[in-house]
Amino acid sequence: MNRLMLFAPCALGLEGLLAKEVRTFGAERVRESRAGVSFEGSLEVAYRACLWSRFASRILLRIVEVPAGSPEELYERLKALPWEEHLSLESTFAVDFTASRSPITHTHYGALKAKDAIVDRFRDRTGDRPNVDTDTPDLRINVAARSRSAVVSIDLSGDALHRRGYREQGIQVEAPLKETLAAAVLALCGWPELAERGEALFDPMCGSGTLVIEAALMAADRAPGLLRARWGFDGWLKHESEIWHTLLDEADDRAEQGLSTDAYLLGSDFDPRAISIATACAKRAGVASITRFVEADARAAETPDAGEGLVVINPPYGGRLQPKDGLEMLYGEVGAHLRAAVPGWRIGIIAADDSPVGFFGVPAEETYPVRNGRIPATVRVGAFPPSVEDSMFANRLRKNHKRLRKWARKAGVTCYRVYDADMPEYSAAIDLYEGAGPDEGGRWVYVAEYASPKTVDAGAAARRLSEVITAVPEVLDVAPQDVTLRRRERQRGNEQYERAETKVQRKVVAEGGLLFAVDLDTYLDTGLFLDHRLTRSMIRERAAGARFCNLFAYTGSVSVYAAAGGAAQTTTVDLSATYLKWAQHNMRLNDLNGEQHQFVRADVMQWLGEQPAGGYDLVFCDPPTFSNSKRMDDTFDVQRDQVELITAAARILAPGGELWFSTNRRGFKLDEDGLIGLTAVEFTAETIPEDFARRPMMHRIWRVTAT
């Protein structure tokens, strides 16, 4: 047996690495194809590929290519092959069958016909037959049908080569990274060369330790197949054990010498079970002496005490953590920690293509498309830029906070905006909330990103937002877990801001001596419009003895102010049952109870049409820009429907009463000519707080009275 024809399948994207690798084994005529590499070589080359390949899924020895225009033709051609040269009667076997653009479309049937052909060959010649074992056969036969032919091969590897032997079956973390892909990630990051120089490696989200262990196997020159007890060629009649044992002895010697490496490898994970699994796997892999695993949050984990090295990460994405905003925060916080802890280090990240990997804040110098199972993914390789501590954004936020903190303390304000897209490159609004009542002492930050236009590079926008969310905890002195990120986009067509999550975790804050519940996690708006702080205070001053009505009341904060100001009665109207319950909760927080405070769930336009004229002295109306609630008979557009709304709301005013009409629609134009019999006087400037001075048109507001 001189020159053999071999094929090594691999995951998509790894073909180049695998081709380079098999050449080091002595392979010739190496050719890359989709999801695999074909090559030629001796039996020693084939064995060396089985033992040493870090990227191949299997090693297949091609026997023959036969015509296979139908299941029957395949059967006849396979039955004619000398299977007795490869398989004994006492051995078990299994057939793996694949098909691509083949007349044989049913793979199970194709496998059955191939199995029958082999069995019938033995039965016709000996009167007996070998048995089939689909789980642990002595010999695995691969049949790959393509077009009208089929390539028949012996699977020299047996089990897939990613099964190195150091994992304990059935005891793993969720969705562990496959060993062959982990090795590929490390190779793409240049780890073998770094390991030769004795540099360090750190995986802050190590899970069961696959990346760290594969890196250790590379650093220690340890053959990835050295632990395996079974091979596909064990039951092959042409197996030459002398060649194989010579290779094993060589691999043992190299492994023993390799443990003297100066490389230092560290993995950490917040899950103690994952750390326990990783530690046990490293011990079984024979690399426990050069690896260490510790339980730690990736956002504050200990890093190796080394001058240079590689950070490699397979971060949670897809089903491992939801929602996407949570991923962005996590990635940004981990990136910030690593930039400060290991400046100048290389970094390699493998992540799904739709994951917000840019929030690590590392520009990718090289990218490599791969597949993580069925998930399209990319390996991004780069280096940590300088820390964001002295970035333009951090400096601006620090300056804003210093100025506004003094103003807020003097004004008795505990919830305020500290940044609002001051620099166009960092397009976000940042609000600081301080707890009160049962949440006294709490501090939370709400970051609302304004979505970048399509003309802005998505990667650059992600890196800038990463700076934002990583600078915020340090500058504003809040814990990273107390920072919430939400993305705002301009409403288009019939879109509305929707609920972001299902969990509800409200905090209690204070404003104007009153208590309010805010929700920083569930909705795009928190339940307290901070730009209306002065407006609410003015309502309280005006409400004494008045019959007050709050239209499109949201969470009822204006109703609370009116009631606290001594309103004779309040009526709070909104179509959302959730918001009305929230409004009632806000009233109870301030001990404002009683039948004089009414809460009405209704379509405001319809409700106004049903009310008698002259029932209220003061009406506040702050409608949404657009609404298409399923509970409404029609859509609502504040620009289109303003005259109908204002006229209907003014109708319920008593003589001398006032309607305060507010909107935050950009470019809104009041149709004064359409407001027949009414006078509208804008007083927006009086209602814009200090922390919204940069956006004097954050909202607009008019007093509307009868002419």
What residue spans define the domains of the chain? Answer: 4-155, 179-220+259-386, 392-459+469-488, 529-706
Q: Is the pLDDT of residue 171 over 60?
A: yes
Task: Name 454's Cβ contacts closer than 8 Å, sequence gap at least 6.
Answer: none
Torsion of CA 528, 532, 533, 537, to 10 degrees: -120
Closest CA to 334 of 353, 354, 308, 362: 362
Amino acid sitting at position 236: W
Query: Buried b vs exposed e over 259-272: b needs ≥16 C-beta within 10 Å?
Result: bebebbbbbbbebe
Closest CA to 348 of 214, 192, 190: 190
Q: Is the pLDDT of residue 227 over 50?
A: yes
pLDDT of residue 396: 94
Alpha carbons 148 and 69: distance in angstroms, whole number: 5
DSSP letter assigned to residue 130: P
Q: pLDDT tens across 554-580, in order?
A: 999 999 999 999 999 999 999 999 999
Look at strands 149-155 and 60-67 and give their pairing.
Answer: antiparallel
- CATH entry, 529-706, from 3.40.50.11540, 3.40.50.150, 1.25.40.10, 3.30.1340.10: 3.40.50.150
In contact, 663 and 699? CB cutoff 8 Å: yes
Mean pLDDT, residues 156-164: 96
Better pLDDT: 640 or 489: 640
Q: pLDDT tens across 680-704, in order?
A: 999 999 999 999 999 999 999 999 9
**Euclidean distance between the first and final Cα of the chain, in Å?**
106
pLDDT of residue 322: 41
Mean pLDDT, residues 34-41: 97
pLDDT band (50, 70, 90) for residue 320: very low
In contact, 487 and 449? CB cutoff 8 Å: yes
Mean pLDDT, residues 373-385: 89
Q: Is the pLDDT of residue 323 over 50?
A: no
Mean pLDDT, residues 413-441: 95
Q: pLDDT tens across 69-89, in order?
A: 999 999 999 999 999 999 999
Helices 179-188 & 15-24 angle (0-180, nearest 10): 90
pLDDT band (50, 70, 90) for residue 468: confident
Phi, psi of 290 (to 5 degrees): -115, 10
pLDDT band (50, 70, 90) for residue 33: very high
Angle at 414 between CA 409 and CA 416, to 5 degrees: 100
Mean pLDDT, residues 536-540: 98
Angle at 301 between CA 298 and CA 307, to 5 degrees: 115
Strand ranges, E, within 175-287 = 200-203, 264-269
Phi-psi region at 301: left, alpha or beta (left = phi > 0; alpha = psi -120 to 50): beta
Task: Name 159's Cβ contacts closer than 8 Å, sequence gap at least 6.
Answer: 228, 230, 232
Q: Is the pLDDT of residue 335 over 80?
A: yes
pLDDT band (50, 70, 90) for residue 528: very high
Query: Buried b vs exposed e over 209-231: b needs ≥16 C-beta within 10 Å?
Result: bbbbbbbbbbbbbbbbbbebeeb
The number of C-alpha atoms within 13 Å of 21 and in the hemisphere containing its C-beta is 28
Look at strands 139-146 and 616-621 and give their pairing.
Answer: unpaired
Which tokens go with 524?
A: 């795009």
pLDDT of residue 491: 42
In this structure, the number of other CB atoms found within 10 A of the CB of residue 544 comes to 11
pLDDT of residue 176: 77
Distance of CA 54 to the CA centre of its chain: 28
Q: Is the pLDDT of residue 248 over 60?
A: yes
In contact, 84 and 122? CB cutoff 8 Å: yes
Q: Is the pLDDT of residue 634 over 80?
A: no
Which of 364-373, 404-413, 466-475 is most confident? 404-413
Q: Do domains 179-220+259-386 and 529-706 have the same CATH topology?
A: yes
Alpha carbons 629 and 635: distance in angstroms, whole number: 7
Q: Say which range, 419-423, 464-468, 489-493, has the weakest mean pLDDT.
A: 489-493
Q: Collapse the DSSP code of 291 into the 3-class scheme (helix H, G, I; strand E, B; otherwise coil) and give the result.
A: strand
pLDDT band (50, 70, 90) for residue 132: very high
Is the four-CA dihedral 394, 398, 400, 404 of positive or negative sign?
positive
Mean pLDDT, residues 519-526: 88
Q: Is the pLDDT of residue 503 over 60?
A: no
Q: Is the pLDDT of residue 182 over 60?
A: yes
Task: Name 404's Cβ contacts closer than 8 Å, sequence gap at least 6.
Answer: 416, 417, 418, 690, 691
pLDDT band (50, 70, 90) for residue 374: confident
The number of C-alpha atoms within 13 Å of 63 and in the hemisphere containing its C-beta is 22
Q: Collapse the DSSP code of 326 into the 3-class scheme (helix H, G, I; strand E, B; otherwise coil) and give the result.
A: helix
Q: Is the pLDDT of residue 300 over 80?
A: yes
Task: Residues 392-459+469-488: name the CATH superfamily.
Answer: RNA methyltransferase domain (HRMD) like (3.30.750.80)
Strand ranges, E, within 512-621 = 514-519, 547-551, 569-574, 597-601, 616-621
Q: Say which range, 321-325, 339-343, 371-375, has the weakest mean pLDDT.
A: 321-325
% of the chain surpassing 90 pLDDT: 78
Helices 533-542 & 557-564 angle (0-180, nearest 10): 40
Mean pLDDT, residues 578-584: 97
pLDDT band (50, 70, 90) for residue 485: confident
Tell me what the pLDDT averaged over the chain comes to. Answer: 91
CATH 3.40.50.150 fits 179-220+259-386, yes or no: yes
- Transcribe 357-376 into DSSP letters: GGGG---EEEEEEEEETTEE
Q: Say which range, 251-260, 352-361, 373-382, has the weakest mean pLDDT.
A: 352-361
Helices 241-258 & 43-52 angle (0-180, nearest 10): 40
The model carries a pTM of: 0.70
In this structure, the number of other CB atoms found within 10 A of the CB of residue 683 comes to 13
Domain 4-155: state its class: alpha beta
In contact, 265 and 311? CB cutoff 8 Å: no
pLDDT of residue 387: 52
pLDDT of residue 515: 98
pLDDT of residue 325: 55
List Cβ<8 Å contacts ≥24 apart for 82-88. 83/118, 83/121, 83/122, 84/121, 84/122, 84/125, 85/237, 85/238, 86/139, 86/154, 86/236, 86/237, 86/238, 87/118, 87/130, 87/138, 87/139, 87/235, 87/236, 87/237, 88/130, 88/235, 88/237
Residues facing 703 on adjacent strands: 660, 681
Alpha carbons 585 and 83: distance in angstroms, whole number: 80
Angle at 68 between CA 67 and CA 72, to 5 degrees: 120
Q: pLDDT tens across 384-418, in order?
A: 765 545 578 999 999 999 999 999 999 999 999 99
